[in-house]
Amino acid sequence: MYKIAIAGASTLLGRELKDVLSESTLAAANFALLDEEDAKGQLDQVGDEITFIQALSADAFDHADFTFFSGSENLTRAHWRHALRAGSTVIDLSGALEAETGVLIRAPWVGAEPGSADLFTPAVVPAHPAAIALGLLLGRLQQAAPVRTAAATVLQPASEFGRTAMDELHQQTVSLLSFQSLPRAIYDAQAAYNLLGALGESATVSLVAAEARIRRHYRALSANRWPALALQVVHAPVFHGHAFSIAVELEHAVELSVLEEALTGEHVELILEDSDSPSNLAATGQSDVLVRLRPEPGARGSGAMTRLWLWAAADNLRLHAQNAVACALDLRRLRPRGAVQ
């Protein structure tokens, strides 16, 4: 039986991670829920097990086989070496450890990845959920026909920036409806009822950093297997779920049915009816990326085409948590169990 520590257990991502772990083959593990001092003592639950959140400390990771860091980057930087010294496998959902020597970006869902984790790998960073969704879709299209160009607009929800960003979006919405001044501590801009390509100068979160992270992770996972991608991230006034508008041009014409067949598969649900269009609401709680394929306007019926659009949606928190658990399951081979080790 494994022992699993979750550092940042009270965060939105931490709560989603607990749900996904409860549904996985790691559900029988012993869990230690850890977080900052202000969350200490909160009653929580993993599966059927009721427990309390404990304060983070240097010895909180003792005997932990896996430690998931699902809080802020600062929390991860402050405590990840304690987990490493305790012999724990570190899985960093915050992305704080990307630049550390030997740390790998992973996404088992997308197939072969550059490099392989071994006993000397200090930590792994589960890839950004938007990079996974884009990789799944474009990688499968690439198998049907070479992709000449691909451009994506990612509509990002408030939950990507955590609970404080969601709270400010909610407060801005209420303030606008009651004709009051807007709180701007997080966005330094009006996020409610608004689409933003950039945030204010004093914002405590960054769209630029979010976009750069998706680019890095897409490139790292691609290993030159997927097409080059033009990318823009836009902040949408929604609480949960990524949405994607993707324009693709193929090297040669391909039948619509062939492209639909290429997209269909594990972790992707192809939506054929216009009435059931993928959306961030429809994707909430779903384990798959929802996608609808549309020929370039003017194309003839369902015949061969070279240009097409994808409209897709995914539950950002669930996809991130699922990938993190998939990383842990992949790393189990480095933690043999038994009397002789």
Query: pLDDT digit string (tens) for 134-150?
Result: 999 999 999 999 999 99
Any idea what the Cα angle at residue 152 is, between residues 288 and 250, rounded to 5°? 95
Q: pLDDT band at residue 339, thresholds of 50, 70 and 90?
A: very low
Q: What pLDDT score does 112 carry? A: 62
Pairing mode, strands 49-52 and 43-46: antiparallel
What are 92's two structure tokens? 């960093």
Residue 61 has pLDDT above 90, yes or no: yes
d(CA 80, CA 245): 36
Q: Exposed, middle or buried, 52 (CB in 10 Å: 0-12/13-18/19+)?
A: exposed
d(CA 84, CA 106): 18
d(CA 110, CA 303): 29
Query: Do residues 56 and 81 make contact, with C-beta atoms less than 8 angstroms apart?
Result: no
275-309 tens-digit pLDDT? 788 999 999 999 999 999 988 765 554 578 899 99
Which CATH number applies to 131-316? 3.30.360.10
Give the count of beta carbons closer than 10 Å to the beta carbon of residue 291: 24
Residue 43 has pLDDT above 70, yes or no: no
Q: What pLDDT score does 302 carry? A: 53
What is the mean pLDDT of the segment spanning 328-333? 89
What is the mean pLDDT of the segment spanning 253-265? 93
Task: Report which of residues 341 and 28 the model is more confident about.
Answer: 28
Most confident of 47-56, 82-91, 331-340: 82-91
Q: Of 35-49, 242-256, 271-285, 303-317, which range is least confident?
A: 35-49
Q: pLDDT band at residue 115, thresholds of 50, 70 and 90?
A: low
> What does the mean pLDDT of the chain come to?
90
What is the mean pLDDT of the segment spanning 201-222? 96
Please tell me the pTM assigned to this model.
Answer: 0.92
Q: Of 107-116, 140-149, 168-177, which range is least confident?
A: 107-116
Give the type of residue at 249: E
175-189 tens-digit pLDDT? 999 999 999 999 999
Q: Say which DSSP state 59 is in.
A: T
Residue 216 has pLDDT above 80, yes or no: yes
Say whether 131-316 and 3-126+321-334 share the same fold: no
Share of the chain above pLDDT 90, in %: 77
Q: pLDDT band at residue 340, thresholds of 50, 70 and 90?
A: very low
Q: Say which DSSP state 182 is in.
A: P
Residue 78 has pLDDT above 80, yes or no: yes
Q: What pLDDT score does 337 carry? A: 59
What is the mean pLDDT of the segment spanning 222-226? 90
What is the mean pLDDT of the segment spanning 4-31? 93
Domain ranges of the chain: 3-126+321-334, 131-316
Which CATH number applies to 3-126+321-334? 3.40.50.720
Residue 341 has pLDDT above 50, yes or no: no
Q: Say which DSSP state 265 is in.
A: B
